[in-house]
A and B are shown apart, each in its own frame.
Chain A
Amino acid sequence: MEVTNISGSNSENLKTTLESDVIVTEGVTKVYAADGIPVNALNGIDLTIQSGEFTALVGPSGSGKTTFLNIISGLDNPTEGTVWLAGKVLSEMSGNELSDFRRDNIGFIFQAYNLIPVLTVEENVEYIMLLAGVPKAERHTRVIAMLEAVGLTGVANRMPTQLSGGQQQRVAIARAMVSEPAIILADEPTANLDSKTGADLLEMMRRLNEETGMTFIFSTHDPMVMAGATRLITLRDGRIDPDEAR
């Protein structure tokens, strides 16, 4: 897989360079005010991620991994810089357009699972498809198949609180992948899992990546995830240092 670091390119070139560029960032900077003191979480990130990559963002805590994932998915706004997602400039999209775009193109896996506590496992997994207007029968079939794929057969009617941490994370993974989005963004997906469950899930995601061409971007500290990644981007003090293809 070709890896392109497009640092220094102009924006017009970025939009037209490669059809398979799903994420392009240029000069992305994020400054937080922590107790009134400005903190530079990201310092001018220029990056291109192509369709089908299995990329790991690594780096010490506070290096800007989660912030970067939030910004490339439109969950947060950069202080400066531009993000293109599948050719669209995120900052030019309205709230509704962003919601629709995330619903149709991005699956999120959060470190803290973030399931909706009042919905059952099945309802959590089908939620995004329901927003997208997928018919009930099709939703049910896909949910059951996805739960089986993540090893959660027979828990469809349980509430999230009735599941273990590992099971909840699998539900979150099923929710992220059931609508077959083009991009999966995963923030420390294995952090709360035991090593066996983590390895199983990683293996499943790797298989999906190879079979369907889904783009996976992880932020992680987990050596197992790093080892499985085809591209390793290290963030240090909000800068890329280095960006390695494998």
Chain B
Amino acid sequence: MIFKIAFRNTFRQKRRTILTGLAMVVGFTLLSLTIGLSDGAYGNIITMFTRNRIGHIQVHRDGYLDKPSLYKTIDDLSAVGEVIQSTAGVEAWTPRAYGAGLGSVGEKSTAIQIIGVDVARETEATRFDQKVVEGNTLAETPSHEAVIGKSLAKIVAATVGSEIVIVSQGADGSIANDVYKIVGIVESDDDATDRIGCYLHIEDAQELLVLNGRVHEIVVIVSNINQVDKITRAIETQLNDPTLDVAPWQVVAKSFYRAMQTDQQGDAISRLVIMLIVAIGVLNTVLMSVLERTREYGVLKAVGTKPMQVFWLVVCEVVIIALASICVGAILGALVNYLLSIYGITYPEEITYGGMKLKTLYAVVNVRCLVIPAITVLVSAAIVSLFPAIKAARIMPAKAMRTH
């Protein structure tokens, strides 16, 4: 009966109920939108960051991540590769060799990073071929070819067909130098890499740096990003080699991950502010409603309704409005997020996040963008109704019935 009274009470002041519900619907939709956009943006950034650059998991010689060195290498690539290949959930993997050097094209020289890649594997793992904006990708066999970053090409005034002389240091302590033909120019959405990156076939790089088949890094791509931790542990267990370090992308790109988490905490604060504004509005209308019905609560108590039942009556009324608002808000929130997941929001100017260029912000429709606003609206509505409900429950019947 208490629920029945609460339910019917919601229809007594229709305009006020609609306004209260509308405040909750707007709050729900805004929350859903901020979560949808935030998850969409971060999902996009993480995909770009991992899929195009660092992969989901990386394997290095122990200590390489903290202090990279030419000498910290993975010595038995084929054995490690076999283990990775046999691990469930691994989609692709690719080895890389790194070295620092000086690159010269004609009379112009600059510092470069030599990146030796297994062309076929790198293409499969990080879509390397799709980053080539001019010329061709590297040949699949070692051919003394180089592909350089777009900004690097500008710095040394190189074009496709130019020759680049690379001077570096070999792992045996010798001076390493050789000439490579530039066959392509890449743009990877990562400014820093594009300014210094000089890609060689991995065997050319190993020859230049005198690595004798050794590599510095193995990048692993998994089929489900949510399984990264599990697959990392599986590879680690199967390798069972304390000299090797297996790290998920959150560890590989520590500072990027922390910056992203900080940003997400900022989003949580903005969500809290949205809900506070909505809650204050709802509190106002609920208080007004309790004030208007003081006499009725007095009568209910006079005829034997317990204080706790009066308390639930008020809470129920607010929760009923909240539940109806959640249903409407869920439809609206899902719809808006769905439209934004297709059309997105295009920035007036390209923005850079974590070194990556973003042009359009896309939303995503997921469970979080519906469940979090639903819980937030329901809990804040219930909390907001507590004060008026306690007030109603404590009413002294005789005093309440004197009000008009």
A: residues with CB less than 8 A from B are 67, 70, 73, 75-77, 95-96, 99-100, 102-104, 108, 110, 114, 116-119, 123, 127-128, 130-132, 175
Contacts and interface: CB of A to CB of B under 8 A. Distances in A.
Given A102-B304, A131-B1, 20 more contacts: A70-B397, A70-B398, A75-B302, A76-B397, A95-B307, A96-B306, A96-B308, A99-B301, A99-B304, A99-B307, A103-B303, A110-B401, A114-B295, A114-B299, A114-B302, A116-B300, A117-B12, A119-B5, A127-B1, A127-B303
A223 to B, nearest CB: 26
29 contacts: A67-B398, A70-B398, A75-B401, A76-B396, A76-B397, A95-B306, A96-B308, A99-B304, A99-B305, A99-B307, A100-B304, A102-B304, A114-B302, A114-B401, A116-B299, A116-B300, A117-B296, A118-B12, A119-B4, A119-B8, A123-B4, A127-B1, A127-B303, A131-B303, A131-B304, A131-B305, A131-B309, A132-B304, A175-B303
A102 to B, nearest CB: 5
B211 to A, nearest CB: 82
Interface in B281-324: 295-296, 299-309
B399 interface: yes
A77 B299 CA distance: 16
A130 B9 CA distance: 19
A75 B305 contact: no
Contacts of A95: 306-307
B5 A76 contact: no
Interface residues of B, number: 24
Contacts, number: 68
Interface string B320-355: 000000000000000000000000000000000000
B289 to A, nearest CB: 13
B304 A103 contact: yes
A99 B310 CA distance: 11
Given A114-B401, A116-B299, A128 B304 contact: yes
Prevailing SS type, chain A contact patch = helix
B7 to A, nearest CB: 9
B303 A102 contact: yes
A207 B146 CA distance: 111
A114 B401 CA distance: 9
Closest 4 CB pairs of A and B: A103-B304, A76-B398, A118-B8, A70-B398
Contact of A116 (B296, B309, B397, B398): B296
Nearest to B299: A114
A114 B293 CA distance: 12
B303 A75 contact: no
Given A102-B304, A118-B8, A110 B299 contact: yes
Interface of B: 1, 4-5, 8-9, 12, 295-296, 299-309, 396-399, 401
Nearest to B11: A118
Contacts of A119: 4-5, 8
B5 A118 contact: yes
B303 A128 contact: yes
Of the listed residues B4, B8, B296, B304, the one surrounded by the most CB atoms of chain A closer than 10 A to its CB is B304
Contact of B398 (A75, A99, A102, A123): A75
A95 B226 CA distance: 54
Nearest to A130: B1
A132 B303 CA distance: 11
Contacts of A114: 295, 299, 302, 401
A130 B303 CA distance: 12
Contacts of A116: 5, 296, 299-300
A59 B401 CA distance: 21
B305 to A, nearest CB: 6
Given A116-B5, A119-B5, A130-B1, A102 B302 contact: yes
A77 B396 CA distance: 9
Nearest to A185: B302
A51 to B, nearest CB: 20
Contacts of B398: 67, 70, 75-76
A118 B304 CA distance: 18
